[in-house]
Structure 1
Amino acid sequence: MNIDLTDTTSGQINSALVKARRASGSPAVGMVLTLVIVTDEGNHYDALKAAGEASKEHPSRILVVVRRPGRSPRDRAKARLDAEVRAGDGSAAGETVLLRLHGELAAHAYSVVLPLLLPDAPVVVWWPEDAPEHPSEDLLGTLAQRRITDAAATEDPEGSLRVRAETYAPGDTDLAWTRITPWRSVLAAALDQKHTEISGATVEGEEYNPSSALLALWLAERLDVPVTRVITDGPGITAVRLDAADGEICLDRADGSLAELAVPGQPDRHVALQRRTTAELVAEELRRLDPDEAYERAVRFHGGAADTLAGDVRPGDGAKPDGGAGAGGAASEAAADGDAAGDARPDDAVSDAGGASGAAATSGGKGAGAKKTAAKAGGRKAAAGTDGAAGS
């Protein structure tokens, strides 16, 4: 059932939600969280479609905030709220409210959204693009237990990671980090099966791909070894190579779908590493509402090493989240995600993605096949294949 409301109020929208719920034969709420999407007219369709798919796993009240401040002084002086209420239409498991804030009201989204939140339920805010510099200090961000951004949707993806490092607050996460979960899991499993000393690592992937940068930084922070970035044609991340004492451990995905894992002394095997849709990424983030400590360590390691990215970054160059220096101390930290124990030594690594370890940092250089710095300033467009619609 769809209900269109023009020049309305939050109270009238709540009444329409109750009416739509009764008309659809579902008087009980049965929703587990409120997902607030902050976007614009040009992107709200794709974001709402992804959220609707994710809600089938996490029944939610989805509030889509579209700001339309207007261009002329007359339009900006007006204040009007239009809404579209959807319930029981099959596109989402739960309720959807599309909010258009016109004129002066566009600057007061907090006051519109607050009365529409599900009572006693967690709140997640997602900016598909154009996220605020300080998500935790944004008025809508203050409502949320989790705040989701996407560095790959910005003009300077790796520069956005520096901003995320500087402004990180518990509850922040980024879809560039979510995209590397399968990579971290497979690498973790490989190192769990083969205990060996790791002396270095290489991450191969597209230029300006923030997921490649985060994977390299995660490896550096966890394994306390130097990591090199190598530019390829993609799509996304194409390979990770770990320099082990008895040979090279290689996870190679040349086609963006099926990867081959080669471990010395073991037969090569194929691993499914399909690039995932935005809906799958959002669904993964909605599974956890506690702070992601592994992401914090990785992204803050990036920020600590940002001033030395002209060449190879050694683990000791990065600042730790607690203000300590270097990733050298990371090797003796408790296991990532707080659910694994161990020393995270190169020969006995544990990780934040299913008990894994990681290795590395970044390196400088230019051109295809050359080393790539872990972050580049300059406001460049993200390379093809790194947009929010596909995983790395």
Structure 2
Amino acid sequence: MKTELTDTTSSKVNAALLEARRTIGSPTLGMVLTLLVVTDEENAYDAVKAASEASREHPCRIIAVIKRHHRSHHKQRESRLDAELRVGTDAGSGEIVYLRLHGDLARHTGSVVLPLLLPDAPVVAWWPAGAPADVARDELGALAQRRITDAYADLDPLAFLADRASYYAPGDTDLTWTRLTPWRSLLAAALDQQRQPVTGAAVESEAENPSAELLARWLADRLKVPVERVVTGGPVITRVRLVTPAGEISVDRPSGALATLGVPGQPDRRVALKIRSTAELIAEELRRLDADETYASALQTSLPEPAGA
């Protein structure tokens, strides 16, 4: 069921949601959180689609907050809230609320969104692009227990990571870190098999790759060894090497969804290491709402400049 409201208020949006649920007989009891998607019109469709797919695992109220600005000085054009509501089969496993804030109202997003949060349920905020430097102090970020950004969406992803480190607050995370889960799991499993001390490491990737940077920082932080960043033609992370007295442990993924795992004294193995969709990444992040201390420690670890190809 779809409902459109023009020049409306938060209380009218809430009333329309209640009426829509009554019409289709869909209570809110099954929803476990509110997911705020803070985006622009250009990215709204893809972001809400990914959030809706993630809601199949985590039924939630998705609130897409879209700021729009007009050049007109007419008061009515400067400050207006338009909303589009989707409930039932049009909204996946929860509810979707599009809020388009025009003009001056875009400066007061917190007061608009606050009445629409599910009562007594966690709040997660996600910026697919254009995240502020200090998300925890942002008007919407302050409402959330978990705040998700994505360095890949920034024109300077490594500078973006530097901002994340400078302004880190418990509850912050970034999808560049989420993308590393399969890599970290595979490397940890390989080290468990080898049981050898690691004396050095290298991460190879395309230039300016934020996930490769975070992976290198994580290895340096956890293993307490020097980690070399090597620039290659990519795409994304292509290889990781861990140096041990018995030889190198390596994960080589030049392209595609399969990687080759090399462990000293064992035959090489092919392992799945696909690039996951945004919906899968968001679903993983919604599984935990506590502070990710491992991410925080890796984020704030310093590395030397990467070596050239």
TM > 0.5 fold call: yes
SS state at 2:136 partner:
coil
Letter of the structure 2 residue corresponding to residue 18 of structure 1: L
Distance 2:76 2:254 in 1: 50
Distance 2:114 2:66 in 1: 15
Q: Does 1:10 align with 2:4?
A: no
Kept in 2, the 8 Å contact 1:135–1:141? The answer is: yes
- Report Cα offsets for 1:343-365 as digits up to 9, x if no partner: xxxxxxxxxxxxxxxxxx44444
Kept in 1, the 8 Å contact 2:2–2:86? The answer is: yes
Distance 2:118 2:150 in 1: 25
- Report Cα offsets for 1:49-86 as digits up to 9, x if no partner: 00000000000000000001212433697211000000
Task: Report matched runs for 1:158-197 at 5 Å.
Answer: 158-197=158-197
Kept in 2, the 8 Å contact 1:76–1:103? The answer is: no
Q: Does 1:235 align with 2:230?
A: no
- Indicate the residue corresponding to 2:125 in structure 1: 125
- Indicate the residue corresponding to 1:25 in structure 2: 25
Q: Could you tell me the TM-score, scaled by structure 1's length?
A: 0.77
Letter of the structure 2 residue corresponding to residue 174 of structure 1: D
Percent sequence identity over aligned pairs = 61
Residue-pair matches, total: 309
Relative to structure 1, is the Cα distance of residues 247 and 3 closer, same or farther in structure 2, using a 3 angstrom cutoff? same
- Indicate the residue corresponding to 1:260 in structure 2: 260
Relative to structure 1, is the Cα distance of residues 87 and 68 closer, same or farther in structure 2, using a 3 angstrom cutoff? same
Distance 2:48 2:22 in 1: 23
Letter of the structure 2 residue corresponding to residue 160 of structure 1: F
SS state at 1:233 partner:
coil
Distance 2:222 2:74 in 1: 56
Unaligned 5+ segments in structure 1 are: 306-360, 370-392
- Report Cα offsets for 1:361-386 as digits up to 9, x if no partner: 444444xx2xxxxxxxxxxxxxxxxx
Kept in 1, the 8 Å contact 2:172–2:291? The answer is: yes
| More helix, by proportion | 2
Q: Does 1:109 align with 2:106?
A: no
Q: Does 1:42 align with 2:42?
A: yes
Name which of structure 1's ranges 83-92 and 47-56 shifts more when overlaid on structure 2.
Answer: 83-92
Unaligned 5+ segments in structure 2 are: none
- Indicate the residue corresponding to 1:329 in structure 2: none
SS state at 2:241 partner:
strand
Distance 1:20 1:70 in 2: 31
Relative to structure 1, is the Cα distance of residues 29 and 17 closer, same or farther in structure 2, using a 3 angstrom cutoff? farther
- Indicate the residue corresponding to 2:64 in structure 1: 64
SS state at 2:41 partner:
coil
- Indicate the residue corresponding to 2:273 in structure 1: 273
Distance 2:155 2:215 in 1: 20
